Chains A and B, each alone.
Chain A
Amino acid sequence: ETGVTQSPTHLIKTRGQQVTLRCSSQSGHNTVSWYQQALGQGPQFIFQYYREEENGRGNFPPRFSGLQFPNYSSELNVNALELDDSALYLCASSFRGAKNIQYFGAGTRLSVL
């Protein structure tokens, strides 16, 4: 049990729609990272938030955006969904400075039809 929960666990959307995925971090964790894992691939870094501000971004277009809230929860928003956005989305929280150990949620599986 990592103490990181994601919701929903599964989601089906259609092309062009918008989606919001949620992550609840461990209490006190001030850093959250989001990853996209396509079937059969390793996770790809989307972005990281530290103290409610974006603190690093991978090779993802601006239609991927995020928010981090003071209550240790965060959101990943994806606009104008494309078929290739179908993947498992993982969030990981950590306390910056505490050896950067990341605790992962179980993920949200998004299917775009």
Chain B
Amino acid sequence: KNEVEQSPQNLTAQEGEFITINCSYSVGISALHWLQQHPGGGIVSLFMLSSGKKKHGRLIATINIQEKHSSLHITASHPRDSAVYICAVRSFNAGNNRKLIWGLGTSLAVNP
């Protein structure tokens, strides 16, 4: 079982829909990252969270430390949001406390 689990694995939506991607983790963390990876490999960091909620444009990320769960929401989705969304946690493992543990990603396709 992966230490970081994402759901769903694949998601298809119509333009304008509200989208939620979930991330659960089983290790102690100091921070959680949401990243976006477009075809061709380039990765963009969207958010880094250690508590609460952050908003940037149409993107909202929340984290519940007690439940070890985070969600990424996209409001009014658009075809340009089509990408792989990856959740990664910064493990609080002594001796290597900057290691990122990655989920396998959620592939999102937004149709016009």
Contacts and interface: CB of A to CB of B under 8 A. Distances in A.
Interface string A75-108: 0000000000000101010000001111111110
A56 B99 contact: yes
A109 to B, nearest CB: 7
Contacts of A41: 104
Contacts of A42: 86, 88, 102-105
Contacts of B31: 100
Interface residues on A, range: 20 to 34
A43 B102 contact: yes
Interface string A35-60: 10100011111001000000111100
B27 interface: no
A24 interface: no
Nearest to B38: A106
Contacts of B35: 104
B52 interface: no
Contacts of B90: 100
A104 B102 contact: no
A55 B99 CA distance: 10
A33 interface: yes
A2 interface: yes
B58 interface: no
Contacts of A106: 40-42
